[in-house]
Homo-oligomer: A and B are copies of this chain.
Amino acid sequence: MGKDSESPKEVSRRDFFKSSAMAVAAGAALGGIGLISKDAAAKEAIPKKWDESYDVVIIGSGFAGFAAAIEAKIAGANVIVIEKMPMHGGNSIINGGDFCAAGTKMQKEAGVQDSPELMLKDMLKAGLYLNHPDLAKIVAYGSKDALEWCETYIGAKFARLNFHGGHSVKRAHQTINASGSELVNKMLSKAREIGVKVQTRTKLERFILNENNRIIGIEAKKNYRFPDENTGTKAFIKASKAVIIASGGFARDINLRKIHDPRLDERFESTNHPGATGEALMAACLARAMDVHMDWIQLGPWTSPDEKGFGYVPLFCERLVGYGPMINPKTGKRFFKETGNRKERADAIILVGTPVLIMGDTYAVKKQVFPNALEKGIENGSIKKFDNLDDLAKAYNIPVAAFKEEIARWNSYVEKKKDPDFECMIFPDAKPMVEPPFYAARLWPKVHHTMGGLVINKDAQVIGFDLKPIAGLYAAGEITGGIHGAVRLGGVAMADCVVFGRIAGKNAVKENSWG
């Protein structure tokens, strides 16, 4: 079947004229949804000749992709990592470097009592029990080992323990430079050192299946210049054992977001790098892969409308929850539990309808916030500093009397370490907010993480719409769905990526070569 002599582009064009006006109407109905890839709709054809050939082809160069690449290489495979962007790292290189793990040495030294059971419990609760429990369990129970692998084998350094909302204890092990770059750059070095080929500006166009629906390779574009679809040259890359897809989430794909959560249109910015779009995920689905939980799109409640991207305010905000109050500027009052999980807080802020404040006094800020983050936030104007509460109230147009009354109330809760209003978890070393100067930043949610993605099993095999594993296809990291259910907790992404990236890499090598 199929006419191999016909180029996919021709087929696609003819198709377009056939479906004509109706297709145009359809696009309009879905809010102007376009075409992810010109060739994606064309019938898959097996190339007559492969341009390159590897045992394992890995799509994406973040935590998951490199974890997979390194394990596959160690197991003896010939491995390439392709990356569509001009630089490796994806979101991993811009993340905050917090790696949640349970029962670690650092936790023990800090007197934190934790266990994989407790981490799993936190993940399932936050996930509204939509998590695939077997997969979540693998992350929680594998987190300590994964962290140790990153330290001892990769050589990444972790310097301190952080808390994230929704966790029962402090279990986020932060890299020494407070960025995922510490880990992903060292992964890149290690990968190169052991002989993994890493090639940027190379974009997946489609998966190539044989007559048994086994994945046998990909069509890619080399020398691609994101986001210009007219750049790059076609190349067929053979994967004789497997393809591992680790290309991340779709937080920046407005068309795809609007299908799964029509609210999240152009009005919402994203913390993600510009390449966090969904075309690789869609290519997998066109190759029979099943998607799950796509409508759970996480908003970061700690981002600021006063700076672009992720920015510095999240580092300010997340260090202060449990030490300082969140204030609705319209009322001067608190409105939600500061230590609530991401979804709870984002929904609460959206209900307020206007950016809200997170605050801290000098004691809390000095104790908790990295001087660098504070400085940079002040520099770009997203964090502000005030000598007294009256000035602060005035600057944000807050009703002063109600506000000062609320701060006194907050302070009384901090003294008792108990918040009867919203049950904020107030930390043992928190102090009443009295020591000037006072600091504040405005918060408004940005799209941060997409919980949904490809269905995988415990071996990181991608499950098809026939509910069976797709031979030759593995996935790990944000492109997978099911692990986090409705809500991914802060710091669990790194654990997830490293745990399942390694599983994918190890198992991909076990596949029989198809040719």
What is A's interface to B at a CB cutoff of 8 Å?
1-4, 6, 11, 14-15, 18-19, 22-23, 25-27, 29-31, 33-37, 40-43, 45-46, 128-135, 209, 211-214, 255-256, 259-263, 282, 285-286, 288, 290-296, 347, 350, 455, 457-459, 461, 463-469, 471, 482, 507, 510, 512
A260 and B469 contact, CB distance less than 8 A? no
**Per a CB cutoff under 8 Å, which of B41, B482, B510 touches A464?**
B41
Residue of B nearest to A282 (CB): B465
User: Given the interface contacts A36-B467, A285-B465, A458-B29, does A212 sit within 8 Å of B11 by beta carbon?
Assistant: yes
Least distance between A25 CB and chain B CB atoms (Å): 6
Least distance between A201 CB and chain B CB atoms (Å): 23
Cβ contacts under 8 Å, A46 to chain B:
1
A130 and B41 contact, CB distance less than 8 A? no
Cβ contacts under 8 Å, A285 to chain B:
285, 290, 465
How far is it, in angstroms, between the C-alpha of A375 and the C-alpha of B4 when the chains are bound? Answer: 68
User: Given the interface contacts A291-B291, A457-B25, A461-B26, does A1 sit within 8 Å of B469 by beta carbon?
Assistant: no
Cβ contacts under 8 Å, A15 to chain B:
212-214, 471
Residue of B nearest to A129 (CB): B263
How far is it, in angstroms, between the C-alpha of A45 and the C-alpha of B213 when the chains are bound? Answer: 12
B290 and A465 contact, CB distance less than 8 A? no
B1 and A471 contact, CB distance less than 8 A? no
How far is it, in angstroms, between the C-alpha of A291 and the C-alpha of B471 when the chains are bound? Answer: 22
How far is it, in angstroms, between the C-alpha of A455 and the C-alpha of B288 when the chains are bound? Answer: 16
A259 and B459 contact, CB distance less than 8 A? no
**Per a CB cutoff under 8 Å, which of B282, B463, B467 touches A466?**
B282
A26 and B130 contact, CB distance less than 8 A? no
B260 and A459 contact, CB distance less than 8 A? no
**Per a CB cutoff under 8 Å, which of B1, B129, B296 touches A4?**
B1
User: Given the interface contacts A30-B457, A295-B130, does A471 sit within 8 Å of B19 by beta carbon?
Assistant: yes
A292 and B295 contact, CB distance less than 8 A? yes
B41 and A466 contact, CB distance less than 8 A? yes
Residue of B nearest to A507 (CB): B22
User: Given the interface contacts A286-B464, A457-B25, does A262 sit within 8 Å of B129 by beta carbon?
Assistant: yes
With A23-B468, A30-B467, A31-B134 given, name 17 new contacts (CB 8 A).
Answer: A1-B45, A6-B211, A19-B469, A22-B459, A26-B458, A29-B134, A29-B457, A35-B467, A41-B288, A129-B262, A131-B262, A132-B262, A259-B455, A259-B467, A282-B466, A286-B288, A293-B295
Least distance between A135 CB and chain B CB atoms (Å): 8
- Mind listing 15 A-B residue pairs with CB under 8 Å? A1-B4, A1-B45, A25-B457, A25-B459, A30-B455, A40-B465, A40-B466, A41-B288, A41-B468, A128-B347, A130-B295, A260-B293, A285-B290, A286-B288, A292-B295
Least distance between A360 CB and chain B CB atoms (Å): 30
Cβ contacts under 8 Å, A209 to chain B:
43
Least distance between A341 CB and chain B CB atoms (Å): 15
**Per a CB cutoff under 8 Å, which of B41, B259, B296 touches A290?**
B259
Cβ contacts under 8 Å, A512 to chain B:
18
How far is it, in angstroms, between the C-alpha of A256 and the C-alpha of B455 when the chains are bound? Answer: 12
User: Given the interface contacts A40-B466, A467-B30, does A211 sit within 8 Å of B1 by beta carbon?
Assistant: yes
A466 and B45 contact, CB distance less than 8 A? no
A211 and B11 contact, CB distance less than 8 A? yes
Least distance between A508 CB and chain B CB atoms (Å): 11
Residue of B nearest to A511 (CB): B22
A469 and B22 contact, CB distance less than 8 A? yes
How far is it, in angstroms, between the C-alpha of A129 and the C-alpha of B35 when the chains are bound? Answer: 25
Least distance between A304 CB and chain B CB atoms (Å): 23
Residue of B nearest to A135 (CB): B29
Q: 3 closest pairs, A vs B, by CB?
A: A29-B458, A29-B457, A26-B457
Cβ contacts under 8 Å, A293 to chain B:
260, 295
